[in-house]
Amino acid sequence: MAQKLDPWKSSENLDYSKLFDEFGISPFADVLPQIKNPHKFMRRGVIFGHRDFESIVSALNDKKPYVVLDGFMPTGKAHFGHKMVMDQIVWYQQNGAKAVVGIADREAHSVRNLSWEECKRIGVEEYLISLIALGLEPENARLYFQSECEAVKDLAFELGIHVNSSELSAIYGFSGETKLSHMVSTVTQGADILHSQLLEFEGPIPVVVPVGADQDPHIRLTRGVASKMNMFLIEKRTDKDNKPYWSVRGKDAPENAFELMDKRLKSEIPNVKTKVSKEHMDIFSDMSAGNEETLRAVVQEIELELGGYAFIAPASTYHRFMSGLTGGKMSSSIPESNIALTEDPKAAAKKVMKSKTGGRTTVEEQKELGGEPDKCSVFELFVFHLIDDDDELCQIQNDCQSGKILCGECKKKAADKIEAFLTDHQEKRKIARERLCEFGINY
Amino acid sequence: MAQKLDPWKSSENLDYSKLFDEFGISPFADVLPQIKNPHKFMRRGVIFGHRDFESIVSALNDKKPYVVLDGFMPTGKAHFGHKMVMDQIVWYQQNGAKAVVGIADREAHSVRNLSWEECKRIGVEEYLISLIALGLEPENARLYFQSECEAVKDLAFELGIHVNSSELSAIYGFSGETKLSHMVSTVTQGADILHSQLLEFEGPIPVVVPVGADQDPHIRLTRGVASKMNMFLIEKRTDKDNKPYWSVRGKDAPENAFELMDKRLKSEIPNVKTKVSKEHMDIFSDMSAGNEETLRAVVQEIELELGGYAFIAPASTYHRFMSGLTGGKMSSSIPESNIALTEDPKAAAKKVMKSKTGGRTTVEEQKELGGEPDKCSVFELFVFHLIDDDDELCQIQNDCQSGKILCGECKKKAADKIEAFLTDHQEKRKIARERLCEFGINY
């Protein structure tokens, strides 16, 4: 197959370069080659950016423990946009991650005015049942509601000690009208992301949060606060002769911290030399990856012994959004723009048949110029959900661009696939509902 | 005894009239005559103001259940300023109240940077042990730490749905620099005040909060939010012929609420007439106190059935502050200005001997003009803590003002009493420590 699969060749629906340049998100393409069996979203550029995904790559490749964390706000129907996230959670679980999924009922309750009972019902019915139907297994999974998880609520309070209202306003555009508990919802999301690293759960562990680009403010806030809450900061520096060394600085660390660290390092790193002061220490040794790992392990160990958190900065990936079936944004408030996972399969198929494609004005024109799959919501359905095989997808892209196939044919194909998928998914939902108790969900 | 006891005849240390006029605090003198055996702070004008204390008077006189609630922030030594509050709590308990006392460790932790362990230690050692030593009994008492009380923390979140950051700034002078969890501490105090009215505790019940005048912002905030959270508002109105009637308005009340209320009222109030609409109803009946009580009971009952809170606005009393022993304010950061309840009795007696009195420059002058007890920190010790008998206190006031007794004599008397009190209190603290488990305190 000569042509490369590139679903967004000319798409301009989001200026992703701004995210790279201004916000420090890294291109996912940089880490992609290191992933052995990447998810189709990774291969196809649906996932386009990341922060610190290197730590997840190494967990994946070395089969080390890590966590995938995501949250769903229980306010309405789960649709194919949510399925994207669910698919990723299931994939990570199948690739060694512990899957931790929170229902963000604090936000739904405080901002959207839904009762806790309603939050619970929507959370289970719309989100958790579909997530299980999509393949989540109880082993190595933890599903929870924010309102029922004391650890998350208490950690949110700790996070809130390190965030002031100006910072929240800058990140979220809050004003004086913003309710206090809306503000608290933001640190609750931070606690969702970080709480798996508490000792009562997994302890410090790499965590990946797969989100849409619009969720990066949460990630930035959480990474910033995690760093503020840590007791020690490890940095690589160079001395006046340009020789590299490590520096460990302490924040509110107990007096004996560096003495302790010094002793431990000297017993674990051969030929290490150190310079210890009250609030920081310099470490001179062979700068090998092995020594760095030992250093980090010792610092983490000591921080935990001293009652600190030793959070590892959470990693994240950023995915593109699906367009709405009617063109423009997919929105829960425009029913024709999206398909719910609980929607009648035949009705869903009809929506697909009416959806906006990348077709030309006339059949003749399309045969001559070819269609534009990168502007086609039906092609997006293939890319995101309906076709797993890249070759098959590439074939459709080629056939469309060459004018060989027309929109009617593609729509019919997608409609059939959607109907079949939903029929199957809804059968699986029945089984999933019976399995809720295996996940500890009382409902 | 001819002269009236008036410890603050010419005192100007706080312009209390402003509190009455601008903030709607009522003079305590208005309700005093209705209280059968008032506490010495009430008799002596130490407690000078209140909000809604009428509800407490009626609970006191009719021996109906009510709650006294107070909180202590565990940041340092408990001194005689704190004893004032403890004395009131014990008095209310002895007069029929359930005593609910919270240790405000959320504020100490988030604002003062104390570890939870330190908060616990100070809360128990300094505050709870002395409170028990001062006479609190385990029956009809509940002592708790905010951080350990899920009901308080969850209710704080609910309160925060109804408060925005502008309101908090206006009340507490918060700025953009204020940490989120500092803001959360304010609604946590609101939850301290209100949570006893949750169904899992006492249900709707009169609650009195004895505080210093500086704490009124908390009370105002809490009363305001409680009113916002209630489902129904009962008001007395008059029609165009100036005939009075009751109006009940609903906020987010379920559709069937007023229908239900109408039915219930018609079966409980004889000859009642009503006008029911979707969001409010008018009630025409004999406007007797009995009927009003029935109306309130029915509205409360229905609100609870419909899942609402039906909070009774918390009552409060406001007391004057003791001056510091060195004159000026009593402050924990000036050790000579106050006496801790755990202080060495002899050292405390020495502090009293060195304290600022209302004496004149020379003995001759004092014999001629008399002393000024309303400017005397030793006389305040008598008023607030050391003399229970009003006649004895009045005698000292008279003898001082007539120049009959001099400052040395008073100081000696106060020093002896302080030493005796502390010796006794510290003995009682030993017993109190053994009784912590009776109060459910694991320490």
- Per-residue pLDDT tens digits for A345-358: 999 999 999 999 98
User: Residues A168-181: what's their mean pLDDT?
Assistant: 93
B216: left (phi over 0), alpha (psi -120 to 50) or beta: alpha
> Over chain B, what is the mean pLDDT?
93
| Closest among B210, B212, B224, B161 to B13, alpha carbons compared | B212
Could you tell me if B183 and B164 are in contact, meaning their C-beta atoms sit under 8 angstroms apart? Answer: no
d(CA A365, CA A371): 9
Radius of gyration of chain B (CA): 24
Q: CB–CB of B181 and A168 under 8 A?
A: no
Structural tokens at position B400: 């001082």
Element holding B119 (H helix, E strand): helix B116-122
CA distance B306 to B304: 5
Which helix or strand (DSSP H or E) is residue B421 part of? helix B407-435
Q: Are the beta carbons of A168 and B154 separated by less than 8 Å?
A: no
Tell me the three state secondary structure of residue A44.
coil
| Rounded Cα gap, residues A396 and A381, in angstroms | 12
The answer to whether the CB of B162 falls within 8 A of the CB of A110 is no
A243: left (phi over 0), alpha (psi -120 to 50) or beta: beta
Cβ of B111: how many Cβ atoms within 10 Å?
Answer: 17
How far is residue B197's CA from residue B194's CA, in Å, rounded to a whole number? Answer: 6
**A141-145 and A97-103 strand pairing:** parallel
Residue whose token pair is 């609402």: B308
Are residues A294 and A282 in contact, defined by beta-carbon separation less than 8 angstroms?
A: no
Rounded to whole angstroms, the Cα distance separating A146 from B341 reads 42
Q: pLDDT confidence of A250, banded at 50, 70, 90?
A: very high
- The beta-carbon neighbor of B106 closest among A110, A157, A168 is A157
CA–CA gap between residue A309 and residue A297 (Å, rounded): 13
Inter-chain residue contact A180 with B179, CB threshold 8 Å = no
What's residue B13's pLDDT? 47
- Token pair, residue A361, equals 């004005």
- Roughly how many angstroms between the first and final C-alpha of chain B, as a whole number? 50
Torsion of CA A127, A129, A132, A138, to 10 degrees: 100
Topology (CATH) of B232-305: Alpha-Beta Plaits (3.30.70)
| Residue of A355, A386, A360 whose CA lies nearest to A372 | A360
Tokens of A312: 């590892």
Of B147, B157, B181, the CB nearest to A181: B157
B162: phi then psi, degrees, rounded to nearest 5: -110, 10
Q: Is B218 exposed, middle or buried (0-12, 13-18, 19+ CB in 10 A)?
A: buried
What is the predicted pLDDT for the residue at A13? Answer: 47
Domain layout of chain A by residue ranges = 16-229+312-319, 232-305, 343-439
Identify the band that residue A336 occupies on the pLDDT scale cut at 50, 70 and 90: confident
Q: What percent of chain B has pLDDT over 90?
A: 82
How much is the ipTM here? 0.91
Q: What share of chain B is helix, strand, coil (3-state, %, to 5)?
A: 50, 15, 35
Report the pLDDT averaged over residues B332-336.
Answer: 82
CA distance A150 to chain B (A): 8
Q: How large is the average pLDDT for residues B322-343?
A: 87
Give residue A14's pLDDT.
54
Cβ-defined contact of A161 to B106 (cutoff 8 Å):
no
d(CA B424, CA B404): 31
pLDDT in tens, A53-79: 999 999 999 999 999 999 999 999 999
Higher pLDDT, residue A155 or B278:
A155
Structure tokens at B146: 């905010």
The whole-angstrom separation of Cα A432 and Cα B80 is 63
- Cα–Cα distance measured from residue A55 to residue A60, given in angstroms and rounded to the nearest whole number: 9
Q: Which of B163, B176, B179 sits opposite A161 (nearest CB)?
A: B179
pLDDT for B118-169, tens place per residue? 999 999 999 999 999 999 999 999 999 999 999 999 999 999 999 999 999 9
Q: Tell me the three state secondary structure of residue B100.
A: strand
Place of tokens 């000024």: B372
From the list B161, B169, B181, the residue facing A179 with the nearest CB is B161
Contacts of A180 (CB under 8 A, 6+ apart): B160, B161, B163, B164, B165, B168, B183, B184, B187
pLDDT in tens, A98-151: 999 999 999 999 999 999 999 999 999 999 999 999 999 999 999 999 999 999
Is residue B104 scored above 50 in pLDDT?
yes
Q: Answer yes or no: do B180 and A158 touch at CB < 8 A.
A: no
Q: What is the pLDDT of residues B47-101, one digit of tens each?
A: 999 999 999 999 999 999 999 999 999 999 999 999 999 999 999 999 999 999 9
Q: Which pLDDT band, with edges at 50, 70 and 90, does A314 fall under?
A: very high
Between CA B7 and CA B39 the distance in angstroms is 16
**Angstrom distances, CA of residue A360 to CA of A173, A336, A366, A368, B390:** 41, 22, 5, 10, 99
Spatial strand order in the sheet of B232-238: B232-238, B244-250, B280-284, B273-276
Q: How many residues does chain A have?
A: 443
- What gap in Å lies between CA A95 and CA B383, rounded to an integer? 74
Q: CB A160 to CB B187 under 8 A?
A: no
- CB contacts, 8 Å: B164 with chain A: 176-180
Query: How many residues are listed for chain B in this entry?
Result: 443
Candidates 1.10.3720.10, 3.40.50.300, 1.20.200.10, 3.40.50.620; correct CATH number of B16-229+312-319?
3.40.50.620
Residue A138's CB is within 10 A of a number of other CB atoms, namely 15
Tens of pLDDT, residues B344-382:
999 999 999 999 998 888 888 888 888 999 889 999 999
Residue type, A407: C
Q: What is the mean pLDDT of residues A423-436?
A: 98
- Helices and strands, counts by H and E, chain A: 18, 11
Q: CA-to-CA distance for B225 and B158, rounded, in angstroms?
A: 10
A57 and A197 Cβ atoms separated by less than 8 Å: no
**DSSP of A249-288:** EESS--TTHHHHHHHHHHHHSTT-EEEE-SSEEEEES---
- Tens of pLDDT along B181-240? 999 999 999 999 999 999 999 999 999 999 998 899 999 999 999 999 999 999 999 999
| Topology classification of domain B343-439 | Tyrosyl-Transfer RNA Synthetase (1.10.240)
The string of DSSP letters for A113-146 reads ---HHHHHHHIIIIIIHHHHHTT--STTEEEEEG
How many beta-carbon pairs under 8 angstroms link A with B? 88
Give the torsion sign (CA, A146, A148, A149, A150). Answer: positive
Q: Compare all CA atoms of chain A with the CA of B186 and give the residue at the minimum distance.
A: A180
Q: Is the pLDDT of residue A1 over 50?
A: no
Beta strand pairing status for B207-212 and B141-145? Answer: unpaired
Two tokens, residue B20: 């009455």
Other C-beta atoms closer than 10 Å to the C-beta of A362 total 9
- Rounded to whole angstroms, how far apart are CA atoms B292 and A184? 40
Q: How much is the pTM?
A: 0.93
pLDDT tens digits, one per residue of A25-44: 999 999 999 999 999 999 99
Calculate the average pLDDT of chain A: 93
pLDDT for A12 equals 46
Residue B292 tokens read as: 């009003």
Tokens 């001056």 sit on residue: B323
DSSP class per residue in A399-418? HHHTTSS-HHHHHHHHHHHH
**Inter-residue contact B64 to B58 (CB < 8 Å):** yes
Pairwise CA distance, residues A331 & A352, whole Å: 15
- Check CB contact under 8 Å for A176 and B169: yes
What pairing do the DSSP bridges indicate for beta strands B26-27 and B141-145?
Answer: unpaired
Residues of B with CB under 8 A from a CB of A: 106, 109-110, 115, 147, 150, 153-154, 157-158, 160-166, 168-169, 174-184, 187, 307
Closest CA to B265 of B286, B244, B242: B286
